[in-house]
Amino acid sequence: MLRYFIRRLLQTVPTVLGVMVVIFFFIRALPGDPARLYAGEDATPQEVALIKERFGLDKSLPEQFVRYVGAMVQGNLGTSFRSRLPVNEILTRHFIATFWLSILAIALAVVVGVGLGVGAAANRNSLFDLGITVLAILGISVPSFFLGILLIYIFAVNYRVLPVTGSLSFQGLILPSVTLAAASLATIARFARSSLLEVLGEDFIRTAKSKGLASYLVLRKHALKNALIPVITIAGLQFGFLLSGTIIVETVFNFPGLGWLLIQSINARDYPVLQGLMLVFAVEFLIINLLVDMLYGVVDPRIRYG
C-alpha cells in the first residue's frame, strides 16, 4: 500500500503544475485592471503605473509567471493586493473556518445519510422507504441559498434561538452546516439505499440467510461493508465539493471561509489570493481522492493495491 500511495502522490505533481499554469493565465484573462481599481477612477496614468509596479503587473506575463512559480517552489504564495498580508496567512485563517464547517457538514451527511439509506433499503417499498426517497429528492432539488434563508427566518428571526450570521462558535456553525449538508446527505442516502439493495440481491446474501443468520447480522456483517464502497466514493467527492463549493452558503450566512474569501477576492481582482485559492481547491480534490482510494482497502480487505 505504501508503494501505491507514493506512486499516486508522485502522479499528482504534473496535475498540480498544469493547474498552476491554467490558474495563472485564466485569472489574468478576467476583465478589469487591478491597478486602476486600487488607484481609483480619478487616478492619473502615472499613479496607475506606480500601482502596477508595486504589484509587479508592469512585467510581461511570462516574467510574472516565472516569478510566481519561483515563489511557489519556496512555499510563498505572494502578498495580497488588498490587505498587503501574506497570502499563506490569509488562506490559513479562512481555510480553518471552511474546514470545520465542512467537517461538521460531511459528518452530519454521512451519519444521517447512511443511516437513512440503510433504513430505507432494509424496509424496501414501505412508507418509510417512500418518505426517505421523497426527502432525498427534496434535499437535492432545494437550492442551498433558499434553504439557508429559510433556516435563518425560522431559527434566527422567528424563534431567535440561533444567530443570523455564521461563525466558528458551536451555535454559529449549526445553520450553515445543516444547509451545507442537506444536498450531500440526500445524495449519500440515495446511494446507500441503491448500493445496499444491490448487495442484498447477491447470492452470498441468500446463502447467509439460508444458514439461519438473523437479518440484522446478515445486514451488518455481510451486506453493509460491500455496500459502503460506492458510498465512500460519493462521500469523498462530496467532502471535496463542500471544502471548495461553500461559496453560496458562506455568502448567505456571511461566514468567513474560503468561499466568502473567493467572492471578495474576485470583486477586488486580488490575483495572488485568487491564485492561492484555486490551487488550494485543486490540491484538496487530489488529496481527498487519494484518501478515498486508501479507505477502500480498510473497508473491504479483499481490495489489494498493486
Q: According to the model, what pLDDT value does residue 88 have? A: 93
Contact 194, 132 (CB under 8 A): no
pLDDT tens-digit profile of 93-123? 999 999 999 999 999 999 999 999 999 988 8
In this prediction, residue 289 has a pLDDT band, given cuts at 50, 70 and 90, of confident
How many whole angstroms separate alpha carbon 124 and alpha carbon 122?
A: 6
Contact 105, 147 (CB under 8 A): no
Query: Helix or strand or coil: residue 86?
Result: strand
Nearest one of 276, 283, 284 to 81, comparing CA atoms: 276
How many whole angstroms separate alpha carbon 51 and alpha carbon 221?
A: 66
Residue 16 neighbours by CB under 8 Å, 6+ apart: 279, 282, 283, 286
How many whole angstroms separate alpha carbon 215 and alpha carbon 223?
A: 10
Q: Domains of the chain by range and CATH?
A: 2-73 (no CATH), 87-299 (1.10.3720.10)
How many whole angstroms separate alpha carbon 24 and alpha carbon 68?
A: 9
How far CA 104 is from CA of 98, 179, 187, in Å, comes to: 10, 11, 17
Query: E strand or H helix at 193, and its extent?
Result: helix 170-200
Using alpha carbons only, how large is the chain's radius of gyration in Å? 24
How many whole angstroms separate alpha carbon 158 and alpha carbon 146?
A: 16
Angle between helices 87-122 and 127-141 (to 10 degrees): 160
CB-based contacts of 82-88 (< 8 A; 24+ apart in sequence): 82/38, 82/264, 82/265, 82/268, 82/270, 82/273, 87/272, 87/273, 87/275, 87/276, 88/276
226 or 169: whose pLDDT is higher? Answer: 169
Q: According to the model, what pLDDT value does residue 300 have? A: 60
- List the grid coordinates of 135: 426527502
pLDDT tens-digit profile of 115-170? 999 999 888 889 999 999 999 999 989 999 999 999 999 999 999 999 998 888 99
In this prediction, residue 223 has a pLDDT band, given cuts at 50, 70 and 90, of confident
- What are the two backbone dihedrals, phi and then psi, of residue 12, each rounded to the nearest 5 degrees? -80, -20
Q: According to the model, what pLDDT value does residue 302 have? A: 59
pLDDT tens-digit profile of 173-193? 999 999 999 989 999 999 999
